[in-house]
Every structure is written in C-alpha cells, then in structure tokens.
Amino acid sequence: MLPSLKRRLRQLPWDSLLRFVILINAIALLTWILWEGAYLMHLAISMGYGLSTNLTNLLLQRIKPNWHNVQITLLSILVGLSLGTLNANWLISLYYPVSHVLMLQIIAIALAACVSLYYYFYSREQALALKQQLQDSLLQQSEQEKALAQSQLLLLQSQIEPHFLFNSLANLKALIREEPKQAEQLLDQLTALLRASMHNNRQQQVPLQDEFAYLEAYLAIQQTRLAGRLSFSVEAQPDSLSCQIPPFLLQPLVENAVLHGIEPKAEGGQINLLAQLDQSNPNQPLLRISLIDTGVGFNFQAEYQHHQGQGLALQNIRARLKALYGDKARLSLQERAQTAGVQVLLELPCGH
C-alpha cells in the first residue's frame, strides 16, 4: 500500500464511522422486529436516511461555512427525511403494497433517530469545544506564569549585579587614597570584567565556561584588592564546561567567600572552585559545583559585623534555582570540620 494512502486511511474518522454503522444497524434491527421482512431491506432503508442526512450535513458545512450549526442541522434533517422517505417508499413498493400509515411510522422512527443522532453529535461537539477552551485557557495561564517567573528571575538577577558593582566601586575608592597603583590596576580589571559580563547580562542561560571565565576575572580583582592575601583556583572537568547555567549564579557565592571568609582573616586564605559532571543518569546529567574557602567560617563571622549581610545573595540563588529547576537543584553550605572555612555545594541539571 502506498504511504500516502496509508496516511489518508489513518486520518479517516474511524470512530465516527463505527458509531454510524452501529446506529444504522440498530435502527434496521428495530424496524425489522416491528415489521419483519428481509433484514437487508430494513438496513437499506435505514442507510438511506442516515447517508442522505449526513452527506447533506457535510455538503452544507463545506459550501456554507458561515451558517450556524442549528441551520445546517435542521436543513440536513429535512433533506435526509425527504430523500430517505423516497428511498424507503421505492424499496417497500418492490415487495409490498405501500400504505400512508406505514410510511408515517417509518418517517417518525427516522425523525427520532435523526434527532437523537444530531443531539449526540451536538453534545459531543460542545464537549470538545469546552475541552479545547480549557486547554487554551491552561496554555495561556502557563504562558503567563512562565512570563511572571522570567520577570522574577530578571529581578533577582538585577539585585545581584548592583550588589557586586557597588562593593567594587567602594573598594576602588578606598584604594585610590592608599594604593594608587593598585587602584589603577583594579580599575583596568574592573573595566575588563564589566565588558566581559555585558554579553551574559540578560541571557537566560550561559555555558559554564563563560561563567567560570567571569569568576576568574572577578577573583583576580579581589586578589589585587587584598594585596596578595587571596589565592584561588578555578577548575572544571572538560565535559562540564558546555553545561548551561543561569548567568551570575555563582558570583554571589564567590563574593560571600571573599567578603565573609577570606577578607576578615588576617593572613587571608584560599578559594577553590571545582565543577564536575555526574553522568550516572544519562537522561539527566548532574552538574556539581563545589566552592571551598579557608576563611574564618561561620563561627567567627559574628565578630566581623561590618561584613555581615542580610542573606540576600543566598535567598536569590535559592529562589532562582526553585523557579528554574524545582526540586532538581540543591544548594547546601557547611562549615569544614577539620580546617577553618566553608564548603558550598551546588547541584543542578546540566542543560545544553
């Protein structure tokens, strides 16, 4: 069988055809029980009414698409009864004498069948229309919720960017008086960092490679500002660099490690950033990003009131993860038991 013919056969309304055949045979069986005679003749009479009514309906829908369904239905029933009665009268006259009483009985049964048939299809059409309206409404609601979530994500992201910029400018102001050379170097690094961040500024997702490059530039700025009290490493498994993540998702974590961990410590410390890809589930690889600092840790941060914040950065990160990934992402923080400092673990699906 040709492929095009197969497609056409699949597109036929087989369920409607089956219901039509069942109904035609049910009416034929009813008239056969009432008046006996050859079953095939009753079937031919029933089919005459059914086919003429349905074909008229289909023809009117095609040539009069602007007509109301009630108009098409009434005219279809009228034409169907007329043609079906002529067909029934002709078939019966071939074998039996035709009486007006018999024809009126046949017309009454045919009318009841047509009305029942169209009531069924009308109810079904209304149900399908309501179902389609419900689906359209749910789709529209989903689009609105998606737009709202996106606007909330942009708001959260916009709260992060000025936070870093204002801190950098404040540090630059302090260095201008005390260390002009370092201030000049910091200004060059900050300019390069801001230029690099413009590409990702309003992107919904960026490769991990771009985010890590941004963080390396940021840590270089902080290393200059802290005059060598900060050392850092940024490493990632090659297969994890292509994972797509929200822009500026990691920057607040790194900033917290610098401001609340390393800077308050007289001798400074180290920050290690590592990304690994867990592919134990091939359908959804998991990106694990760990951030370890050797700073003062949680227990000592209360002594440094000028560095304490309101927890806005962590709240924003958790809110963004919840909106984008639901329960598939996780952010955890814990103090390192053996050495000072804090370890942060971020797990989220690796998108491409």
Query: How far is 285 from 278, CA to CA, in rounded Å?
Result: 6
Amino acid in position 78:
L
* DSSP bridge pairs for 230: 269
pLDDT at residue 256, rounded to an integer? 87
Question: What pLDDT band is residue 290 in, cutting at 50, 70 and 90?
Answer: very high
Joined together, the tokens standing for residue 121 give 């299809």
Query: How far is 45 from 169, CA to CA, in rounded Å?
Result: 92
More confident residue, 223 or 310: 223
Least trusted range by pLDDT, from 68-77, 145-154, 173-182, 274-283: 145-154
Question: What pLDDT band is residue 310 in, cutting at 50, 70 and 90?
Answer: very low
Q: Provide mean pLDDT across the span 304-317.
A: 61
pLDDT at residue 156, rounded to an integer? 47
More confident residue, 220 or 77: 220
pLDDT at residue 300, rounded to an integer? 56
Q: Rg of the Cα trace of the chain?
A: 38
Question: pLDDT tens for residues 19-46?
Answer: 777 777 877 787 787 777 788 888 888 8
Write the CA distances from 117 to 68, 178, 335, integer angstroms. Answer: 18, 92, 74
Query: How far is 186 from 167, CA to CA, in rounded Å?
Result: 13
Question: pLDDT tens for residues 132-191?
Answer: 888 877 777 766 666 555 555 555 455 445 556 676 777 777 778 777 887 787 787 777
pLDDT at residue 177, rounded to an integer? 78
Joined together, the tokens standing for residue 139 give 């789709």
Residue 226, classed as helix, strand or coil, is: coil
Joined together, the tokens standing for residue 277 give 């890809």
All structural domains of the chain with their residue ranges: 3-137, 179-349
Residue 128, classed as helix, strand or coil, is: helix
Is the pLDDT at 235 greater than 90? The verdict is yes
pLDDT at residue 16, rounded to an integer? 63
Is the pLDDT at 264 greater than 60? The verdict is yes
**Dihedral of CA 240/241/244/246: which sign?**
positive
Question: pLDDT tens for residues 110-119?
Answer: 777 777 766 7
Q: In terms of Cα–Cα distance, which of 267, 245, 272 is closest to 257?
A: 272
CATH architecture of 179-349: 2-Layer Sandwich (3.30)
Total-model pTM: 0.53
Characterize the bridge pairing of strands 206-207 and 342-349: unpaired
- Give the residue ranges of DSSP H helices in the chain: 3-11, 14-35, 39-63, 69-93, 100-178, 180-197, 208-225, 251-256, 298-301, 312-325
Measured distance between the N- and C-terminal CA atoms of the chain, rounded to whole angstroms = 41
Least trusted range by pLDDT, from 12-21, 216-225, 302-311: 302-311
Query: How far is 313 from 252, CA to CA, in rounded Å?
Result: 6
Question: What pLDDT band is residue 305 in, cutting at 50, 70 and 90?
Answer: very low
CA 265 to chain centre: 46
Q: Dump the DSSP string for 49-96.
A: HHHHHHHHHHHHHHH-TTS-HHHHHHHHHHHHHHHHHHHHHHHHHTTS
pLDDT at residue 240, rounded to an integer? 93
